[in-house]
Structure 1
Amino acid sequence: MGLITGVCAFLYHLPQIYKWLLKPYYITSFFMTIAFLVVRKTPGLCEHLATQREDGNSCDFDWREVEILMFLSAIVMMKNRRAITLEQHIGNLFLFSKVANAILFFRLDIRLGILYLALCVAFVMTCKPPLYVGPEYIKYFSDKTIDEELQKDSRVTWIVEFYANWSSDCQSFAPVYADLSLKYNCAGLRFGKVDVGRYGEVSQRYKVSTSPLSKQLPSLVLFQGGQEIMRRPAVDSKGRAISWTFNEENIIREFDLNERFQKSKKLNKSRALKEEKQQNSHQEEAEPDADTQEQSSESKKDK
């Protein structure tokens, strides 16, 4: 039954997956991932390649190549244990496959290795992974607007993501954060983002390191009245991020989103009641004024 449900879900989302896979980044990455396999298995080409097989068959993998491919599979499986989105799974597969391809090509022929490495460099410089484009209730801050917005209303709780477009972890987290904003955004609980890769002063002001070695990107920070309440991942005394998994369940639990959302809804109701009372009081004040005007007009007529 579970297999049937999975197949049905895959078929239902097939049009979206099809459009996603047709993007240049994924098409190019796919061909670079299978490059060594194509070279080793293509008739007319593989006969001219070197091999360490005892039977001399240069169109099949030798024992060292099989060992490298098996090691690649183990690394991808280990990395994907912490992946939370399909993009992360695919990205890990592409990344480590390219590394394995470079090793295999250098081992086969140094000229092929240099050529493949040059193609990888050109790919990184010219082809960027697609950014998330979808529904969200997120306010984007700049270095001039973030302080003012966070301090505008002390009753509003802000969850702000500090991110950088060049970070693959931030790109993978984007759809998760957007989905949370759709579920929990309200007048008393708001979601924001600021690009610390673009606004370096913001990263220094809020102590979010943009160094890849610190592993602080993305960072989620909870603000109340402009003051930081908590952040994930937490940072130790040496400025290094404590390992933390950015999935929806962890964020809801750590930031207590369900309770905060319920409190924010109550706050919205109380605000609405106050506004209604104020409107009613204004109307009551306006009605006596009208009565007094009518009485004065009548007295003038009598005179």
Structure 2
Amino acid sequence: MRSASHVSCVNSSSRGVCDSVFACGTMGLITGLFAFLYHLPQIYKWLLKPYYIASFLMTVAFLVVRKAPGLCEHLATQREDGNSCDFDWREVEILMFLSAIVMMKNRRAITLEQHIGNLFLFSKVANVILFFRLDIRLGILYLAMCVAFVMTCKPPLYMGPEYIKYLSDKTIDEELERDSRVTWIIEFYANWSPECQSFAPIFADLSLKYNCTGLRFGKVDIGRYGEVSQRYRVSTSPLAKQLPTLVLFQGGREIIRRPMVDSKGRAVSWTFNEENIIREFNLNELFQKSKKLYKSRGENREEQNGTQPEEDSSESAAVNPDQPTESKKDQ
């Protein structure tokens, strides 16, 4: 005999709870589907890439196995009605817990890639638990597929328009010291970091809006150049949560960085969205000062030469994203 706390969903009262929970889960899935369809025109270019196709298939793997005709009849189940082609109460609990975790994580997500990445990540974790609970052999097989996926399939890098100079361990100091009047905003990143990959389009958009002769944007891959990581005190450890790190340099000296780092070497929580960066780094004021400074210098030079001042080519390139950028992604 089971205790009252373990009454099956077959009972009328428990069945009502199950139906209610399942209805909530269904509504959540429908909402997510409509959100996905709404953003489909923006993501169709990268949606069919191998990384996202494989992630989607692994996300729905348990659902397919549990519902597939001809296969689900042979699976184990804890339902008292013996229907092995439907979710039991524990599976519904796990799926609802997954939905809650994804919603909480996505509250801090900024881009669509981050939302989808969180869904894929936690869905894989839930699938591991569900498959091990269903059959240890299926659990081991799915876990092996997850390991193979992580080792062989990487998220596609952002390749959109930008006006960013990619720096190396040899060029970063040269650029910072080349002209003391130039302000640099440099992102320290690593290609393996999902946070850095999600932030890439935001930083690229800022470079298109604010890049000018006196305000430059740069990136350095400290996952590749470990010496730069030590020199500028940016930890690549996932536990430190310092990736990505944005640092503003004026006259070759660091003025501000985000996120800040506490006494234990861990990053203070900070949201990398466009509004926060514009406000914290005072980009509007920096942009106007940089334009005025170099415009006045250009006018004085042209007056001395007796010619008409020309428009700053780098500012023109920053405004027009169709022009070639300074990106050096092959470094």
Q: TM-score, normalised by structure 1?
A: 0.88
Spell out structure 1 runs of 4+ moving beyond 4 A: 13-16
Helix, strand or coil: the match of 1:26? helix
Q: For residues 261-272 of structure 1, what are the structure 2 equivalents within 5 Å?
A: 261-272=287-298
Q: CA deviation at 1:239?
A: 0.8
Counting aligned pairs with the same residue, the percent is 86
1:225-264 per-residue CA deviation (whole Å, 9 max, x = no partner) reads 1100010000111111000000000000000000111101
Tell me the equivalent position of 2:274: 248
- Determine whether 1:50 maps to 2:109: no
The two structures, once aligned, show a CA RMSD in angstroms of 1.5
8 A contact 1:221–1:231 mirrored in 2: yes
Which consecutive residues of structure 1, in runs of 5 or more, have no partner in the other structure?
A: 1-6, 282-303
Distance across 2 between alignment mates of 1:241 and 1:219: 9
Distance in 1 of aligned mates of 2:64 and 2:40: 27
Aligned partner letter, 2:261: V
Where 2:260 maps in the other structure, the secondary structure is: coil
What amino acid is aligned across from residue 108 of structure 1 in structure 2?
A: L
Counterpart AA for 1:99? V
- Aligned-residue offset at 1:269: 1.2
Mapping of residues 57-76 of structure 1, within 5 Å: 57-76=83-102
Shift of 1:278: 2.9
Equivalent residue pairs, number? 273
Aligned counterpart for 2:108 among listed residues 77, 82, 103: 82
Q: Does residue 39 in structure 1 map to residue 68 in structure 2?
A: no
- 3-state SS of 1:134 partner: coil
The one of 204, 215, 239 equivalent to 1:178 is: 204
Q: 2:145 matched to which residue of 1? A: 119
Q: 1:139 aligns with which of 152, 165, 176?
A: 165
Q: Which ranges of structure 2 fall in alignment gaps of 5 or more residues?
A: 1-33, 308-331
Report Cα offsets for 1:77-96 as digits up to 9, x if no partner: 00000000000000000000
* TM-score of the two chains, using structure 2 as the length reference: 0.80
User: 1:285: which partner in 2?
Assistant: none
1:149 to 171, 175, 178: 175
> 8 Å contact 1:152–1:225 — kept in the other structure?
no
Q: Which amino acid counterpart does residue 159 of structure 1 have in structure 2?
A: I
- 2:245 counterpart residue number: 219
* Partner Cα distance (2:161, 2:150) in 1: 28
Q: Secondary structure at the match of 1:236?
A: coil
Q: Which has the larger radius of gyration?
A: 1
Residue 202 (structure 1) aligned with residue 219 (structure 2): no
